[in-house]
Structure 1
Amino acid sequence: MLEFIAANSFARLIFLFLLFGLVVFTAAYLSSAATKRSRLKAQLQSIGGSSDRQGRPMLEVRRDSAWSRLADQIEKAGLNLSDSNADDLKQKLLAAGYTSPAAPRLFVLARLIMIFVLPILYLFYSTLSAEPLSFFRMYVVPGMLAVLGMYLPNLIVSAKADRRREAMTNGFPDCLDLILVCVEAGLGLESAMDRVGREMVHSHPLVARLLLITTLQLRAGSARDDALRKMGTSSGVDEIRSFATLLIQSDKLGTSVADTLRVYAAEMREKRRMRAEEKAHRLPVLISIPLVICMLPTMIGVLMIPGVVRVVRVMLPAMSGG
């Protein structure tokens, strides 16, 4: 069997694909098990109240410190991991949920690794095949993979930021309703945000974490204006920025916070309903694309087959004089 695989290039290719699939499946299974275990530990520690001053679980703090030490060791070895647009990169990573101070340096390190690893893996795979390396396989394809490795982390971070922004946008109206109920019940704004943040840990964890961080900043002595501005900036969502600006203006002008929350909560619910209607109205247009590509040629073929058969059986013999 091994001799047949070594002698036949097609069998060797199939064996390599199966081996690659087995390795990927094993790695994905182990990663999923480790992720579930770490998530369970984080939930238990968050329920037990083991958090640092910024409201983050201790497991996440230890992970961030480990990544920070790795980045420090790499920079001590002589590799500079700083980016030319450090502020923009930091804002992009914050919007994606990467709050570690070492996140920009690790992002640059990931880009460097992807630039070199993807072409090296492709060249290693090409050397195992029996076909000789051509100019296209030797230079063009590795160059394209290097460009892909340079932009792939940006695409991943952008996709995660979009998902995080969508989750916060969808969960924020419920948060406003609960804050409104707490304020009308007699709680202050800080106490209401703290109460809602603790209640929404499992339903909307991103919004809950944002509220808890803002509450801890207020308790640490930060001004309400600065804490609310930081909340809007760190969220990366326009609706939350508008909400923070609205609370700041309401606080300065002395208007009722309950009325402000009631009006803005109704507006947020209306925007969420309009987004749902927009997605529903886009469905016919999106469905028409596979309909035209897949079903329309089949229907045309079914309708034309009887005419084609009649032409072949009757008209062509009549035209040839048969």
Structure 2
Amino acid sequence: MPFSASALLPIIMLAIAGFLAVPAIMAFVRSWKAKEDLERRLERRESRPAVQEESRNDTRIGRAVIGLANRATPSNEDAVSEVRAKLLLAGFTNPSAVGRYYIARIACVVLPQLALLVALPHLGGFSKQHLIMLSIGLIIAGLLAPDMLVSRRTKARQQQCSAGFPDMMDLMVACVEAGLSLDASVQRVGEELELRHPIIAGHMKKLSLELRAGKARKNAWRAFADRMSIEEASSLATMLRQAEEMGTSLGQTLRVFSADMRKRRILMAEEKAMALPAKLTLPLIIFVFPVLLGVLILPAVVKVQGAL
């Protein structure tokens, strides 16, 4: 019995969604055996099986999610490193964040297609072309949604770091001029900013741990700038490296840099204030001008109609 076009439409949509999910499924299959062997070796080396079994029962759902996320991670190290760096900038520091990211991408492509398939009997008023366009639009939106979410979160974190960076520099100058070393100042500033600027406080605490672990100061500050991914942090890392190489006064250098940060904040506020009239021009023309025109012309229109 020949199939109608409406009956073939769900099959076509599922085929497209399955085709787009093929790369992730192939990566899942490739990494399954290696991850399973690694988990088996780690289980053999566990010295306390009873405690391990109890913790597994307590967090069975969490372990299942983490295991699925780890298996969904592709085996290409370059792609994994790129995605991990992007997720770190967005604040996703969990070791299984990469796997969860790929699971989210697959779910954002497949689940809308399944929902459309379930709702298809109730969409009889739509033509076949509209349903195909809707399916393609859902696929495109599912592919772009995780990246858009990560990019938006990264941008928001960068804005928060830029807004709180002058406060961090003021505290750094106060600590250094009070007699603390640079490493101790980093730890103190991280504690002070925990409530006001928690993102910067987290970066400062990680920087303090790296310095205490023996990492070179210029490398630690460069990693700090890379994690924050803002221009101010890069300038600070470069300035501290140059001050250390040339032997200049650290307190004076930080004071000058802090003054520059305060001036930059004032200039940014003035820039936003000067751009406000230009941004208000279009809303005023669209919403205020017609109302004002009606208030001015309406009495004259009423008088003309009364005279006629």
Calculate the TM-score normalised by the size of structure 1: 0.70
CA–CA separation in structure 2 for the residues paired with 1:260 and 1:311: 75
* 2:248 match: secondary structure: coil
Give the match for residue 101 of structure 2.
107
- Residue 89 of structure 1: how far off its partner (Å): 2.9
* Aligned residues of 2:108 and 2:142 also touching (Cα < 8 A): yes
- Residue 245 of structure 1: how far off its partner (Å): 1.1
- Residue 206 of structure 1: how far off its partner (Å): 1.0
Q: Where do residues 136-147 of structure 1 align in structure 2 (5 Å cutoff)? A: 136-147=129-140
The CA deviation string for residues 245-264 of structure 1, in whole angstroms up to 9 with x for no partner, is 11111111111110110000
Question: CA 1:122–1:262 in structure 2 vs 1: closer, same or farther (change >3 Å)?
Answer: same
Give the match for residue 70 of structure 1.
68
- Unpaired segments ≥5 residues, structure 2: 1-58
- Residue 236 of structure 1: how far off its partner (Å): 0.7
CA–CA separation in structure 2 for the residues paired with 1:211 and 1:119: 44
CA–CA separation in structure 2 for the residues paired with 1:65 and 1:249: 47
Question: CA 1:243–1:151 in structure 2 vs 1: closer, same or farther (change >3 Å)?
Answer: same
Which piece of structure 1 moves more, 154-163 or 91-100? 91-100
Q: Which runs of 4+ in 1 moved over 6 A?
A: 62-66
Q: Does 1:227 align with 2:225?
A: no
Which piece of structure 1 moves more, 176-185 or 81-90? 81-90
Give the match for residue 113 of structure 2.
119
CA–CA separation in structure 2 for the residues paired with 1:216 and 1:67: 30
Give the match for residue 37 of structure 2.
none
Give the match for residue 249 of structure 1.
242
- Residue 223 of structure 1: how far off its partner (Å): 0.9
Which piece of structure 1 moves more, 195-204 or 304-313? 304-313
- Residue 221 of structure 1: how far off its partner (Å): 1.4
CA–CA separation in structure 2 for the residues paired with 1:68 and 1:205: 26
Give the match for residue 276 of structure 1.
269
* Aligned residues of 2:175 and 2:185 also touching (Cα < 8 A): yes
Count of residues paired in the alignment? 249
Which piece of structure 1 moves more, 299-308 or 174-183? 299-308
* Aligned residues of 1:173 and 1:268 also touching (Cα < 8 A): yes
Give the match for residue 48 of structure 1.
none
* Aligned residues of 1:115 and 1:149 also touching (Cα < 8 A): yes
* Aligned residues of 1:82 and 1:105 also touching (Cα < 8 A): no
* Aligned residues of 1:119 and 1:143 also touching (Cα < 8 A): no
Question: CA 1:172–1:118 in structure 2 vs 1: closer, same or farther (change >3 Å)?
Answer: same
CA–CA separation in structure 1 for the residues paired with 2:114 and 2:292: 48
The CA deviation string for residues 284-320 of structure 1, in whole angstroms up to 9 with x for no partner, is 22222221111222223333444555666667xxxxx
CA–CA separation in structure 2 for the residues paired with 1:278 and 1:109: 42
* Aligned residues of 2:72 and 2:103 also touching (Cα < 8 A): no
Question: CA 1:66–1:266 in structure 2 vs 1: closer, same or farther (change >3 Å)?
Answer: farther
* Aligned residues of 2:72 and 2:102 also touching (Cα < 8 A): no
* 1:180 match: secondary structure: helix
- Residue 133 of structure 1: how far off its partner (Å): 4.3
Q: Where do residues 1-322 of structure 1 align in structure 2 (5 Å cutoff)? A: 68-74=66-72, 80=74, 85-129=79-123, 131-309=124-302
Calculate the TM-score normalised by the size of structure 2: 0.73
Compute the RMSD of aligned alpha carbons: 2.6
Code of the aligned partner of 1:71 = A
- Unpaired segments ≥5 residues, structure 1: 1-61, 316-322
Question: CA 1:67–1:237 in structure 2 vs 1: closer, same or farther (change >3 Å)?
Answer: farther
- Residue 228 of structure 1: how far off its partner (Å): 0.8
Question: CA 1:72–1:90 in structure 2 vs 1: closer, same or farther (change >3 Å)?
Answer: closer
The CA deviation string for residues 23-67 of structure 1, in whole angstroms up to 9 with x for no partner, is xxxxxxxxxxxxxxxxxxxxxxxxxxxxxxxxxxxxxxx999876
- Residue 132 of structure 1: how far off its partner (Å): 4.0
- Residue 85 of structure 1: how far off its partner (Å): 4.3
* Aligned residues of 1:176 and 1:261 also touching (Cα < 8 A): yes
Greater RCO, 1 or 2 (C-alpha within 8 Å, sep 6+): 2
CA–CA separation in structure 2 for the residues paired with 1:222 and 1:83: 25
